[in-house]
């Protein structure tokens, strides 16, 4: 299955839309055409702009202001997404801002790669955050020029916010050492000596181990770091699962592609 069979692109004078095919099918079932949907969407976006501080769910402060907002909103207006609890990445289209359309396509492609190249045990523990739609607006004076609609992960916790790193089950399945094991490896002594926050450094190194394991399976995610791996706890089984977001390389801080490449040989 090619990526283009999974995506429906629609354009007009006001908008460019990329929909995941099942989301577009739901849109047609609910609205029949784009006209009514666009009216609802404009109202939805307007509420995001007005209450962007209220909806902010970004746990990190950005070292460079690129006009990117990470917002969380429950969808009670549009009604076309598989999960109404949404995370929205919104861009003002400033210089050096992330390419949200590229992120949409990359997320769908990566999910397909996981399905093809990871075994069932690995897929049970690691997945890509579902993306639903990318929207570019050409409406004059729009505050947000680009929007990426994604599923919001319950808890909003990243690997970087944990104290123990990956779970014991995850380490066993992916053959990754624990933080304790990494802390006594000689090849990482300099890494720890140069970083006052040793816990952060251990988490970064553990993430590179995952980067290497995926690389060996033919899955290259240069952007991988402890900040874009979300942690999800299954309330029924108490298993910990990990969900990847932002799978497009970013060469601004923290420069994960360079760190991953330089640390790779020691893992």
Domain chopping of the chain, boundaries: 9-105+129-151, 157-266
Helix (H, G, I), strand (E, B) or coil at 262: helix
| Each residue's pLDDT expressed in tens, for the chain with a length of 267 residues | 667 788 999 999 899 999 999 999 999 999 998 999 999 999 999 999 999 999 999 877 766 778 999 999 999 999 999 999 999 999 999 888 889 999 999 999 999 999 999 999 999 999 999 999 999 999 888 999 999 999 999 888 999 989 899 999 999 999 999 999 998 888 877 766 666 778 888 899 999 999 999 999 999 998 888 989 999 988 778 899 999 998 776 655 556 777 878 787 888
CA distances from 8 to 25, 27, 91, 227, 254 (A): 9, 11, 21, 30, 33
Q: Got the DSSP string for 162-226? A: -SS-S-HHHHHHHT---HHHHHT-GGGHHHHHH-S-HHHHHHHHHHHHHHHHHHHTT---TT--T
Q: What is the C-alpha separation between 33 and 146, in angstroms, rounded?
A: 21
* Per-residue pLDDT at 186: 83
* Per-residue pLDDT at 65: 78
Q: What is the C-alpha separation between 229 and 125, in angstroms, rounded?
A: 12
* Per-residue pLDDT at 1: 62
| pTM > 0.85: yes or no | yes
Identify the helix (H) or strand (E) that includes residue 123: helix 120-125
Beta carbons within 10 angstroms of residue 225's beta carbon: 24
Q: How far is CA 222 from the centre of its chain?
A: 13
Helix (H, G, I), strand (E, B) or coil at 57: coil
The residues that bridge with 147 in the sheet, in sequence order, are 90, 135
Nearest 5°: CA angle at 239, between 237 and 244? 135
* Per-residue pLDDT at 193: 67
Q: What is the C-alpha separation between 242 and 228, in angstroms, rounded?
A: 10
Question: The dihedral of CA 241, 214, 131, 152: what is its sign?
Answer: positive
Burial readout 244-266 (b: 16 or more C-beta within 10 A, e: otherwise): bbbbbbbeeeeebbebbeebeeb
Give me the half-sphere count of Cα atoms (radius 13 Å) on the Cβ side of residue 164. 8
């Amino acid at each position: 299955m090619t990526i283009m069979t999974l995506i429906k692109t629609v354009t007009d004078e006001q908008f460019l839309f990329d929909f995941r095919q099942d989301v577009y099918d739901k849109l047609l079932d609910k609205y029949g055409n784009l006209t009514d949907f666009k009216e609802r969407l404009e109202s939805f976006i307007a509420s995001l702009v007005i209450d962007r501080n209220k909806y902010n769910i970004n746990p990190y402060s950005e070292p460079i202001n690129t006009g990117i907002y990470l917002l969380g909103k429950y969808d009670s207006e549009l009604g076309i997404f598989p999960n109404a609890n949404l995370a929205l990445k919104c861009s003002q289209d400033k210089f050096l801002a992330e390419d949200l359309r590229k992120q949409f396509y990359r997320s769908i492609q990566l999910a397909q790669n996981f399905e093809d190249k990871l075994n069932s045990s690995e897929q049970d523990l690691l997945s890509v955050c579902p993306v639903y739609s990318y929207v570019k607006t050409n409406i004059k004076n729009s505050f947000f020029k680009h929007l990426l609609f994604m599923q919001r992960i319950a808890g909003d916790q990243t690997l970087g916010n944990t104290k123990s790193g990956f779970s014991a089950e995850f380490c066993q399945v992916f053959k990754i050492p624990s933080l304790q094991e990494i802390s006594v490896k000689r090849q990482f002594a300099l890494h720890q000596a140069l970083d006052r926050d040793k816990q952060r450094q251990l988490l970064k190194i553990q993430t590179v181990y995952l980067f290497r394991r995926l690389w060996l399976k033919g899955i290259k995610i240069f952007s991988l770091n402890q900040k874009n791996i979300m942690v999800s706890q299954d309330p029924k089984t108490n298993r910990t699962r990990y969900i990847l977001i932002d799978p497009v390389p970013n060469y601004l801080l923290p420069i994960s592609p360079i760190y991953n490449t330089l640390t790779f040989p020691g893992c």
